[in-house]
Amino acid sequence: MKNNELQRMVIYPKDVSIITGKGYRQSLRLLNRAKQIIGKEKKDFLTFDEFLIVFKMKS
């Protein structure tokens, strides 16, 4: 990767689905649960790092 390229920081339900092997709806629930644990509102974005911290996964 080049230095001037940006990496995406926000995690979406499709990303969670790929990581966990769960369906889209279950992944959406996991994202919302992670937001609730961290104290973010439903409309706020969640980063990959925050998701990994909440569910104690290693990057």
At 8 the pLDDT is: 83
Tens of pLDDT, residue by residue, the chain (59 residues): 566 677 889 999 999 999 899 999 999 999 999 999 999 998 999 999 999 999 887 76
Write out the E strands in the chain. Answer: none
Token representation of residue 9: 């920081």
Q: Report which residue type is found at 19.
A: I
pTM score of the predicted model: 0.80
